[in-house]
Amino acid sequence: MVKRIYLDNAATTPIDKRVAKAMRDFELEFYGNPNSIHREGQSARAKIDFARAEIAQFINAKPQEIIFTSGATEANNHALRGVISSALRNLRSKVHVVTTAIEHQSVYETLKLMESWKIIDVTYLKPDKQGMIEASDVIKAITDNTVLISVIHVSNEIGSVLPIREIGKSLEAINAKAKHPILFHTDAVQAAKYFNLNVEKNNVDLMTISAHKINGPKGIGALYIRSGTPIDNLMTGGAQEYGMRPGTQNTPGIIGFAKAIQLLGSLEERQSAARRIAVLRDKLISELSQFDRCDLNGPTGDQRAPDNVNFSILGADSELVMSKLDLAGIAASTGSACVSGSAEPSHVIRALGKINDIKAATVRLTLGKQNSLSDIKQAIKVISTLARE
């Protein structure tokens, strides 16, 4: 039987057994609706409050600034649509948004849709050949009617670590003189495992995080909304989540989310884990770069997430490569799981401007804490065979 090697952790991570146990134990004992006034409901509510406080502490926020959602896609939609809706209502004119061409689909496609409605203008900043975007280019793109900047912290596809802190610092100075505030949102879903998400140091107004990218449960995410941020609701029908997100909370998911955050440990522990994973990442990159047909997508070194490797195998077919990898026991992907099944290069790969007119198979390998050196050696062996075909 072929040993399975899971290298698709950017799509989702295996749930930690301790997280699953915390959720199971909670659900068996605290089954009340957290919005009910009886003892069972209020006991569940108290547990949610503790979990919210723990997640808030992780990013140096206030508990009331954490809004639980069904996941990162909903949180990103809420950030964009909510801020733009509020700005349109208050400014009564067309507004402008600055973003990048390497955002997650839930940001990129949402802005494309709203742009097609002729209610916003959007600047999509293109990365350089290594997949990086300078903070100065983001700031230069600001216009008189800019109301929002949305920049991904770590690219889910090519692993670029973008200069969130520099953007936030520059924006703080601009906002001190601006007629209306320019809000700053970051999708930090892929950054939580290894990077400092301190919202004060990064000077962000809105931030998206998700549980199932950090060995937590699926179906639960959160949107940080800085107190006083002008943002509209997406839905109506309830007063849950401080009136920002109606509907009965996913209580077991919230408990699991907080447990997963707790298990990440301190920033020092996360940085130590990042260094271990980066050794495996660099071995993959070093070995595969020896093949002429393997073209690395994204930057190297500290500018790249420690768990991300993305290659284009020139002249190969994506579906065939993915099938052969799976048969060989390697779970990988062509890019974001949100567009799985597409044989075409994603908007992120196209933005690099390298393979638009060349047939190529994109392979994304993303590592997790369960991966070992033997896993990496086996992956190199399998992919090397594909690169020679």
Q: Which of 15, 53, 337, 338 is catalytic?
A: 338
Nearest to 238 by CA among 73, 33, 83: 33
Distances (CA, A) of 234 to 133, 360, 389: 30, 39, 50
Q: What are phi and psi of 65, to 5 degrees?
A: -95, 0
Distances (CA, A) of 311 to 58, 244, 304: 33, 41, 13
Nearest to 362 by CA among 296, 275, 304: 296
Is 338 part of the annotated catalytic residue set?
yes
Partners of 330 in the β-ladder: 5
What span, in angstroms and rounded, lies between the C-alpha atoms of 41 and 249? 12
Helices (H), the chain: 17-29, 39-58, 72-91, 105-116, 135-140, 164-175, 199-202, 251-264, 267-288, 318-327, 347-351, 373-388
Q: List residues with catalytic annotation.
A: 338
